[in-house]
Structure 1
């Protein structure tokens, strides 16, 4: 088993949309099928409120884990959703999400704007003051919702509710689908969000004092390290491309280092990975982004696990696209790191799984079991 700690499940690319244009039908189920066959278990990561809800619903459906958060690049455009995200968090923690409500599936599919924090009629939080979904009274309405804009092919379950085709990852029943808060942090490389908005949202999410975080930092380490210094948080800084000194600070802080293809772009990146403590590395695809490109220094360390992909313009649903990453390519990350560190693939793979379990604790450990 390999745990892919960062899969952007809600990306429009898995809905067949690229740069606003529809190129093919939604195929996330095929992506998940390939992942499951390869024994890669992806964690679905949220980047703003809607994607967080979508990842939560998908994690519930596919019996895996997700994160909820607001990416720093979305901080300005989605700052009005912060309170809704925080409300979502507390309702998850209190077990008050009604996955079968009359609003939940339509909201995930983009068919309803009703959601907590903006409209009190939204009913996917369970409490006595809100009208919950009645199977008998609303069966026809549920069946009539057209969910073609969601990332699933749909089918009916035995109670008449629209449900996606499912790939079941963990065999055990999960006590929660929420593994961490994130993606959240700071990003000064891009200017899509103001520093003020980024810091405000990041500080509010840190104030939740959740057990684990999926963190983001890009060209902002001074402010980032200052902001986390007062918090005793656990988790991982994903898509790491910083210096060894920065990595050592994070490790001393009790955090892990997430490595993907973008962490292996140049020789300096490779040297950092070579020096990193093997027992503090976690593996991720960050799909559909961050595959190890041929031009990257890390590609020189691939020998046996280059995942076959195609680059033709004609869509092939049963193959990995060359320019769209998938969780299955984490095998390339494992091999590259193993060869950089001159250890066996199996030793690296085993260690990274152990690291992931240690990082996220009993929630993940209990799901994996023996």
Structure 2
């Protein structure tokens, strides 16, 4: 794949598995988790407009790299409704989930003073749909506040109504999966108890699981689990049986950052594992990814968060992929020299090239960018925004997974595609 412009350099690993040679395969992707309803994709940051709405271009870049289906995450009532609107705006490309994220679950608390349709978490910036993905152990909300049971009943009834209306307005069929393709995002997150206490998260997850199990037909589950594996699995089994035998459509635990043993238990229960940039931060994370069976793998970006960074352990696999691509291109050029290449190889032209390099000391990037990237303050049409992860970067996720597992891009992409189509009914 052709890529252009720049990124930060990083050292090349000498111990990673050797992936098979590059092929002419054209990858295809489904981003199972993209927070495309977040106002940041409309040019709004923390409630203020910083640049023009460029959502159309964001979707266009995704399609250009082969990411032709985007599942937009609903994490609250507002974001779920907005995700469904996007599915209508981009038919056949965008699909939606609907649920209440653990970090949005303070709406079940008696101390939450806003209507659950208005916001997702007390104190959270209402202009943003999704909380940042990094853990924050500071000032956790303590247990003891309890749950407002009357409010809880109303929340679950309203969520059931939202799902019913979405299915009625956008019905699924043998040739059309419908706009609403999963229940969620919901689950537990003990890394971010500053958004919602543990006791309220447990109630939120359990109540939504009961609703998910009662739907006819059921929806696949779009699940979230951070530092809460034991409680997470326990509540799933309570709702769907010891082997999740009553879970009709399956589900995916997205943005996985748990241990190898936790991942294997989830796979043994028949669940799928979604990976993104947060899944590659450490050597331990990468070891987990190495052990994920291709038959249980799904790919995602979780944009605007969870981008792959040069500080991540997984970055070195991108560097290695780029080095192999450059070597392959150089070998191809050497095998079929042209007149222009012959002139470029003369001592005179080599000397001119060296002099040009001395004038411009900027080092060639070890990982190239497909699209130009600028700061939001310097936004320009056609460019990506620095720090705002987009679905088009899913190709990096596939490259890293392939490098970690020592398999081809084709194997990774085709496995993830087949798994995602199977679970979410995206055959058409």
TM-score, length of structure 2 as denominator length: 0.64
CA–CA separation in structure 2 for the residues paired with 1:77 and 1:187: 15
Whether the aligned pair in 1 keeps the contact of 2:290 and 2:404 (CA below 8 Å) is yes
Q: Which of 217-226 and 235-244 deviates more?
A: 217-226
Cα distance, 1:97–1:300 mapped onto 2, change above 3 Å: closer
Question: 5 Å matches for 1:348-359?
Answer: 348-359=412-423
CA–CA separation in structure 2 for the residues paired with 1:283 and 1:78: 31
Whether the aligned pair in 1 keeps the contact of 2:280 and 2:312 (CA below 8 Å) is yes
Whether the aligned pair in 2 keeps the contact of 1:307 and 1:332 (CA below 8 Å) is no
Whether the aligned pair in 2 keeps the contact of 1:215 and 1:235 (CA below 8 Å) is yes
Please state if 1:214 is matched with 2:222.
yes
Question: 5 Å matches for 1:105-120?
Answer: none
- Indicate the residue corresponding to 2:97 in structure 1: 67
CA–CA separation in structure 1 for the residues paired with 2:372 and 2:261: 36
Whether the aligned pair in 2 keeps the contact of 1:10 and 1:55 (CA below 8 Å) is yes
- Indicate the residue corresponding to 2:426 in structure 1: 364
4+ long deviations beyond 6 Å: none
Please state if 1:227 is matched with 2:235.
yes
1:102-159: per-residue Cα shift (whole Å, max 9, x none)? xxxxxxxxxxxxxxxxxxxxxxxxxxxxxxxxxxxxxxxxxxxxxxxxxxxxxxxxxx
SS at match of 2:225: strand
Higher relative contact order (CA 8 A, sep 6+): 2
Whether the aligned pair in 2 keeps the contact of 1:306 and 1:332 (CA below 8 Å) is no
Cα distance, 1:350–1:229 mapped onto 2, change above 3 Å: same
SS at match of 1:229: helix
- 1:266, CA displacement in angstroms? 0.6
Please state if 1:261 is matched with 2:289.
no
CA–CA separation in structure 2 for the residues paired with 1:67 and 1:53: 9
Count of paired positions: 290
- 1:275, CA displacement in angstroms? 1.6
Question: 5 Å matches for 1:15-34?
Answer: 15-34=42-61
Cα distance, 1:246–1:306 mapped onto 2, change above 3 Å: farther
SS at match of 1:297: coil
Cα distance, 1:340–1:306 mapped onto 2, change above 3 Å: farther
1:204-252: per-residue Cα shift (whole Å, max 9, x none)? 2211223311100111111111111121331100000000111111111
SS at match of 2:286: helix
1:47-103: per-residue Cα shift (whole Å, max 9, x none)? 10011011111112211311011111010047753232221112233x1579xxxxx
Whether the aligned pair in 2 keeps the contact of 1:8 and 1:286 (CA below 8 Å) is yes
Gaps of 5+ in 1: 99-171
2:201 to 198, 223, 243: 198
CA–CA separation in structure 2 for the residues paired with 1:73 and 1:341: 32
Task: State the Cα RMSD in Å.
Answer: 2.0
Whether the aligned pair in 1 keeps the contact of 2:73 and 2:97 (CA below 8 Å) is yes
Whether the aligned pair in 1 keeps the contact of 2:282 and 2:312 (CA below 8 Å) is yes
Cα distance, 1:175–1:212 mapped onto 2, change above 3 Å: closer
Question: 5 Å matches for 1:5-44?
Answer: 5-40=32-67, 41-44=69-72
CA–CA separation in structure 1 for the residues paired with 2:228 and 2:374: 35
Cα distance, 1:243–1:287 mapped onto 2, change above 3 Å: same
Cα distance, 1:35–1:333 mapped onto 2, change above 3 Å: same
Whether the aligned pair in 1 keeps the contact of 2:88 and 2:179 (CA below 8 Å) is yes
- 1:193, CA displacement in angstroms? 0.8
CA–CA separation in structure 2 for the residues paired with 1:251 and 1:222: 15
- 1:358, CA displacement in angstroms? 2.7
TM-score, length of structure 1 as denominator length: 0.74
- Indicate the residue corresponding to 2:258 in structure 1: 242
Whether the aligned pair in 1 keeps the contact of 2:170 and 2:179 (CA below 8 Å) is no
- 1:317, CA displacement in angstroms? 2.9
Please state if 1:3 is matched with 2:33.
no
SS at match of 2:381: coil
